[in-house]
Chains A and B, each alone.
Chain A
Amino acid sequence: MANTMLTLGKALLKHSLHIGELTGLERFMVSAVTLPDRAMTLLGATNVEPELVDPRFDYELLEKSAEANLDLFEIVRQKVHADMVVSPVWQGLMFFGTAELGTVFKVDKRRVPYSVDYPIKKPEDIASIKIPQQATGHLKMYFDITKELQRRHPDSMFMLIFDGPWDLAMLLRGDGHLPADMRLHKNYTEAKDQATRDKIRRFGNPDVYPAIMELTTQVAIRHIQLAAEYGLSLMGSSLVDQYAAKPIMSREDYFKYVHPYRVRVWEATGKKIGAGYMVPSPQESEQNMKDPMLGKSMGGFSNYIYPQTPEGLTLPEYDRPSLDMAKKYKQSYSYFIHGKYLRDATESQLDAAVQRICQMAVEVRANLMVTLASVPPGASLEKANYVFKLVEKYGRY
């Protein structure tokens, strides 16, 4: 992308002198420093079901063709009026690089690819998985797509997402086994005496969990290095371990048995990658701010896994504390409209929801970013645009 500091400087000047409307990217850049002109809007393009955009695109095509992903992304970018449209790869979790390490994905025309078989079935399988020396397969396709978009749109940001050690391990070992591996390891390391440890060994191998996590830590580091070697900008990139959160595991277990591996990835790659940790309450978000790695990540305050009403809206009492804390820590509150709410709600219900959160952000004078968790079948691009228009209407500071 163009010189970041120059773009930021121009955006700040334009904002402070009130010279015209900020562009979407300018609004994002200004929000990193101060309050922009209005709340921001962001869409992860891959969250839009392809059939809603154009029936020519399906997951069988998108899994094979980088060009199809690029074409679909350009159409979404034209049709959806968000400040930022990111995430241009419609391949489910395939593009995180484990398909090349042995994870088997099922690809159907109308369903996002999903994992059905995992290469680590027994301890000996761990050593057979080699750290990639080059980007190949779907990982390479992901890099190619991102590189092409960074070339085509130098005035935009295309943030890379990398799976972290836990999520990679879930894709290599399977969600039916990894939590049990962790529990066995935890019981073993926290056992009071050797006799208990000896007994635990009769029920399984407590060394499997750390061996898998060691492997996936090295894989995660290598994936990030490969992206840099590929000439990709890592600005705004993030390391994601979305399955290392509640209710999969407790906060205590996360910090003891997952976080240290993530810190190693973060440190080994020059602390350039954001590495957040999804939490179900604003109070826990504030605790995250005290951690050197989590506190520096974008999206520290997000309603993504906050408890919801049956209709799919975040419980209303969670919003004000999140906005207050986002302001205190100079971050944004990322407010997701969940797919089922977008699908089921009437226009007047959407209006009320967006008006409420925007007015609260304006009152608190906190940065707010409204985004859509998904645009599922039954919703539409028009409905997505309607939400973003509402933010433009109600979100002016």
Chain B
Amino acid sequence: MNTAIAQAVEDGDLYNIEDMVNSALAAGESPKDLLDALMAGLKACGDRFEQGEYFLPELMGAGDAFKAGMGLLAPKLAAGDQVSQGKVVLGTVHGDVHDIGKNLVGFMLSSSGFTVVDIGVDVTAEAFVQAVKEHQPQVLGMSALLTTTMLGMEDVIQALKKEGLRGKVKVLIGGGPVSKKYAEDIGADAYGNDAAQAVSLVRSLL
């Protein structure tokens, strides 16, 4: 594996990653190997976040470096090169525009090889249902920062039941005001106390 490229992603070195990937491709390294290096860098960054060594700017930097590298590799990758660990749809519930926590969870999952479909903030129950129909994820993650908006999570679960989708997707909830008891009360499958737990929680649901 190209450890220099992995290290550049881990360090959030957006400024050199394209040159490094281009040089590696020119030297004959395979796009698949380079993808593995990008993923390894992202994973290392996620691990350092989990250990309390990295913070939001570092995650954003690694994400940007990863995207820049992927921009060059994507057209060259063969079908099947990108093997996903699973698909997760993420969104912040209706009335709530806070997305830092959701973005952190998205980063942690992406860096561990999951396909993340981020449907944004202020997402209605109908839009969550539509996203589950369209993307058919194994896990649906909902986030809320406000004690008032978190109540919308139950609406989403009810809407999934109504559409006959509840048995087809696991529901994970998180955010400051959310608790284990609340998750149990509304019939969610799991509750995350912080973003660092996201990967292990999603794995436990699959």
Name the A residues within 8 Å of B52 (CB-CB).
246
Whether B193 lies near A308 (C-beta < 8 A) is yes
Please give the number of chain A residues whose Cβ is less than 8 angstroms from any Cβ of chain B in the complex: 41
Whether B97 lies near A114 (C-beta < 8 A) is yes
Q: Given that A196-B15, A340-B182 are known contacts, is A249 also in contact with B56, CB under 8 Å in the complex?
A: yes
Whether B60 lies near A180 (C-beta < 8 A) is yes
Instruction: Identify the stretch in B37-45, B75-83, B129-137, B145-153 within 8 Å (CB) of chain A at 4 or more residues.
Output: B145-153
Q: Which of B55, B151, B193 has the most CB of A within 10 A?
A: B55
Q: How far apart are A248's CB and chain B's nearest CB, in angstroms?
A: 5
Q: Given that A112-B146, A186-B57, A310-B180 are known contacts, is A377 also in contact with B100, CB under 8 Å in the complex?
A: no
A179 at the interface (CB under 8 A from B): yes
- CB nearest to B100 among chain A residues: A175
Q: Which of A180, A196, A200 has the most CB of B within 10 A?
A: A180
Q: How far apart are A44's CB and chain B's nearest CB, in angstroms?
A: 14
Partner of A311, one of B57, B60, B181, B195: B181
Which residues of A does B touch, CB under 8 Å?
49, 106, 108, 110-112, 114-116, 175-176, 179-180, 182-183, 186-187, 196, 199-200, 202-203, 246-250, 253, 308, 310-312, 339-341, 343-344, 374, 376-378
B14 at the interface (CB under 8 A from A): yes
User: Chain B interface: which size bin?
Assistant: 35 or more
B23 at the interface (CB under 8 A from A): no
Apart from A183-B57, A253-B57, A310-B180: 5 A-B pairs, beta carbons within 8 A = A175-B99, A180-B57, A182-B57, A187-B12, A246-B52
How distant is the Cα of A250 from the Cα of B12 in the complex, in angstroms?
15
The count of A-to-B residue pairs whose CB atoms sit within 8 angstroms is: 93
Whether A179 lies near B95 (C-beta < 8 A) is no
B22 at the interface (CB under 8 A from A): no
Which residues of B does A touch, CB under 8 Å?
12, 14-16, 49, 52, 54-58, 60-61, 64, 95-100, 104, 146-149, 151, 176-182, 191, 193, 195
Q: Given that A199-B15, A376-B147 are known contacts, is A248 also in contact with B55, CB under 8 Å in the complex?
A: yes
Whether A248 lies near B56 (C-beta < 8 A) is yes
How distant is the Cα of A378 from the Cα of B12 in the complex, in angstroms?
43
How distant is the Cα of A214 from the Cα of B159 in the complex, in angstroms?
48
Partner of B182, one of A196, A253, A344: A344
Name the B residues within 8 Å of A196 (CB-CB).
15
How distant is the Cα of A199 from the Cα of B180 in the complex, in angstroms?
47
Whether A247 lies near B181 (C-beta < 8 A) is no
Whether B57 lies near A340 (C-beta < 8 A) is no
Name the A residues within 8 Å of B178 (CB-CB).
340
Name the A residues within 8 Å of B180 (CB-CB).
310-311
Q: How far apart are B148's CB and chain A's nearest CB, in angstroms?
A: 5
- CB nearest to A252 among chain B residues: B55
How distant is the Cα of A112 from the Cα of B191 in the complex, in angstroms?
24
Q: How far apart are B12's CB and chain A's nearest CB, in angstroms?
A: 7
Name the A residues within 8 Å of B149 (CB-CB).
111
Name the A residues within 8 Å of B15 (CB-CB).
187, 196, 199-200, 202-203
Q: Given that A310-B191, A311-B181 are known contacts, is A339 also in contact with B147, CB under 8 Å in the complex?
A: yes
Q: Given that A108-B95, A200-B15 are known contacts, is A377 also in contact with B147, CB under 8 Å in the complex?
A: yes
Q: Given that A116-B97, A179-B57 are known contacts, is A340 also in contact with B148, CB under 8 Å in the complex?
A: no
How distant is the Cα of A112 from the Cα of B147 in the complex, in angstroms?
10
How distant is the Cα of A338 from the Cα of B131 in the complex, in angstroms?
33
- CB nearest to B181 among chain A residues: A344
Name the B residues within 8 Å of A202 (CB-CB).
15
Whether A183 lies near B193 (C-beta < 8 A) is no
List 23 contacting pairs A-B, 8 Å CB cutoff, sorted by A. A111-B149, A112-B146, A114-B96, A114-B97, A114-B98, A179-B57, A182-B57, A183-B57, A187-B12, A203-B15, A246-B52, A247-B104, A249-B56, A253-B57, A308-B193, A310-B191, A339-B147, A344-B181, A374-B147, A376-B147, A377-B148, A377-B151, A378-B147
